[in-house]
Structure 1
């Protein structure tokens, strides 16, 4: 594959991804006051628990049904992305009609299922738009940065429409963005249908020890992100500057995610994906230890920021490991199963501070211990003399 061809293919996916993320951001703005997106930690804990249940529910459909379909449908993952984009347009238009009706709830659920379906399909498509395994981290990183930038830019006109005209105009704007995504998805590469009898990378027959250890590390990273979000939200309750602290935590955590997406390609020039996961596990343990010793809201926010940075770095590393080591045939199914595990970890960890009133330092100590044990276990496992499980040699300096 020529460099121009690979670049052209990646550009089509990048433009598609930017438009999809823009449409997603517009929908969130339009429905910001709905049950699904307006979660007040000062409200009833039962309502917050219901939100967590709703956030996980789409995966119950994506993992067993949609994941395998992504790998087997005639037309490949490209067709799935096109179907999702077209379906998002229809859902957005229906939301305009039923914005103040009970029908909005199944429509939002459908949007969440389509969102997860697209995420899985996009991850499965990445190897088809790069020239080799060495470019996987950079490609995943660029898509992560594009998602953050496109979502931020799309929010500006969405917010203006929401304030001046209302939700219908914002939803229509989102539908137009999904239309742009559909247009760009036409240029995505076609994939040949291949034998689908191989096991998925997410089964007990995972091809490498790196995959087995990697998904556990990523599970912990995603769980820690959920834990820190709700730990800080409930810990800050009653503080005079509660809203400002929580806003700062959310804002800096988003910046941490963006930085993690941005620095991953540079790290990949000197470190393999496995060592990048080590960095992702060690960094939160160090900052968590400092927060446990010193305490205070600002260091708590620092822990949340580093956890989100590490989760972004870990996600890019792990996705590249799956794309590199997992069977091509069942890649969509694998990503669906892994994402279901990770979201379950996020929900379970988020429930802990909802049910238990944890002092700030206790929460930070818990994060420190979990990450320290996870880093030790990962290093021990990846260095074991088990063939595929061993740490690969570092990339040659460029």
Structure 2
């Protein structure tokens, strides 16, 4: 019996040792697998970091090309692109609460949504623009203030979104829109200060818009994914960190971004001898070129707002057959996105071409496409007009920005941009309301016919106005040439002996020109001294 117990004990010991060796082997295998997984994770992390560095280096080469890195344009492009990503994160976080387009709701609620979107622009035009003009010498800090302010508002919305405090979220969201537009106005106003000599204004604006669209397109799905996984409050907290970092980067922009106070003095005579007022431009007199560009963009923006809501309600009422409503809406959205991106790319390609002509061509293209779509109205005709409307809106707005930057002086440039943004938003809302009303009474091609008449009237009026302006300018030039005095000469005498000297002119010292002759410089006695002359207010590169 004792031998049996001994044998059993030995057998149990052998089994225990085997189990122990197996456990040790399994532990070693697990450790080896863990080390292998760790090495793979490290390699993947290094690969991701290397890919990120490559993308960053490629982006830096694009943003700093053609001297943009030396003038500060490259830093402004990067700042605006990341700022657009922050706004996209906020939009993605609030998409399920405030900014979700209620397509399936009553038309009255959609109209209320449109009217609410006008509130930030009503604030920007009369208040924000003049304030920005008063702080021309501190635009870096103004831009940084808009970024810091949005960061703090994101903090407030992140704290209020879990309990559903709409009375905090709604005003904060509107304030974010106001600060975003204030940043856009400031950025557009300082563009001539950072413009390299080799880049035209339209191209620089297009480069900024292109990078902003790309980063926003990347940030929207990321923000939507984070909101679905962790909650919208974490997306807002990520936007908070991003905005605070961008505020620091805005302060670090080159100093020449800030514009010094202009030496425009009351009583200084202009080229025609008239006294020059302190403000050479006012918001009621921005000049015919800016007025024409604004009118064309207003027509295109009204057309864009009309198409958005008109086509959406056609799809909802099943008056646009061909595909299922969700697929149709997605197709229209893709067409609009491609059109906007294409318009930005074309603006970058136009380089130094006339922005006035570009604005008129966008309006003409919208008219032709609308007429064709009204005659042959199908699903694909609707897709075509959605693409062309987004293309014309993007390209026309970039050309308008270049015109304002070139034509409007520093003292009211921000105010002018604020008014431009307000007019464009009001026209977009008006077009959306017209689309809502026409969707109740018309189907398909009838609404497009109405818009074709509006676009044709706008284009005809602008062409007539432009023709009159050009004819008046040519008449003034001819009249000035005809009124120019010509000294009479005696064929037998030297012409220099018959050169009359006006009483208000005095000769200066002769200056040799290297060929044995001298030239006489005539200086006006009533000309203002050099230190009191007005600095140039327009961009020399435009």
| Structure-1-length-normalised TM-score | 0.91
Q: How many residues align?
A: 385
- Residue 395 of structure 1 is matched in structure 2 by none
Output aligned runs, 1:1-398, within 5 Å.
4=67, 7-35=70-98, 37-73=99-135, 75-99=137-161, 100-102=164-166, 103-131=168-196, 135-188=200-253, 189-194=257-262, 197-198=278-279, 200=281, 203-207=283-287, 209-239=288-318, 241-269=324-352, 271-356=353-438, 357=440, 358-384=442-468, 385-387=471-473
Asked if the contact 1:17–1:181 (Cα under 8 Å) also holds between the matched residues in 2, the reply is: no
CA shift in 2, pair 1:381/1:308, >3 Å: same
Cα deviation for residue 65 of structure 1 reads 0.9
CA distance in 1, matches of 2:181, 2:474: 30
Q: Deviations over 1:30-49 (max 9, x none)?
A: 001113x1122220112111
Asked if the contact 1:200–1:333 (Cα under 8 Å) also holds between the matched residues in 2, the reply is: no
Q: Deviations over 1:332-364 (max 9, x none)?
A: 000001111111111111101223323110122
Cα deviation for residue 200 of structure 1 reads 4.7
Cα deviation for residue 231 of structure 1 reads 0.7
Cα RMSD for the two superposed structures: 2.2
CA distance in 2, matches of 1:334, 1:42: 37
Q: Deviations over 1:88-119 (max 9, x none)?
A: 11001111011110211111111111111111
Cα deviation for residue 220 of structure 1 reads 0.7
Larger radius of gyration: 2
Q: Deviations over 1:297-349 (max 9, x none)?
A: 22112112101101111111111111011112111000001111111111111
Higher relative contact order (CA 8 A, sep 6+): 1
Asked if the contact 1:88–1:114 (Cα under 8 Å) also holds between the matched residues in 2, the reply is: yes
Q: Deviations over 1:281-306 (max 9, x none)?
A: 11111111111111112211211210
Partner SS for 1:302: helix
Stretches of structure 1 lacking an aligned partner (at least 5 in a row): 391-398
Stretch deviating more after TM superposition (287-296 or 353-362): 353-362
CA distance in 1, matches of 2:381, 2:157: 41
| Structure-2-length-normalised TM-score | 0.68
CA distance in 2, matches of 1:53, 1:200: 31
Asked if the contact 2:86–2:243 (Cα under 8 Å) also holds between the matched residues in 1, the reply is: yes
Stretches of structure 2 lacking an aligned partner (at least 5 in a row): 1-65, 265-277, 477-542
Cα deviation for residue 132 of structure 1 reads 5.0
CA shift in 2, pair 1:74/1:313, >3 Å: closer
CA distance in 2, matches of 1:5, 1:235: 46
CA shift in 2, pair 1:74/1:364, >3 Å: closer
CA distance in 2, matches of 1:353, 1:360: 11
CA shift in 2, pair 1:14/1:366, >3 Å: same
Asked if the contact 1:284–1:310 (Cα under 8 Å) also holds between the matched residues in 2, the reply is: yes
CA distance in 2, matches of 1:363, 1:133: 45
Cα deviation for residue 267 of structure 1 reads 2.6
CA distance in 1, matches of 2:383, 2:408: 36
Q: Deviations over 1:190-212 (max 9, x none)?
A: 321336841556x22123x2111
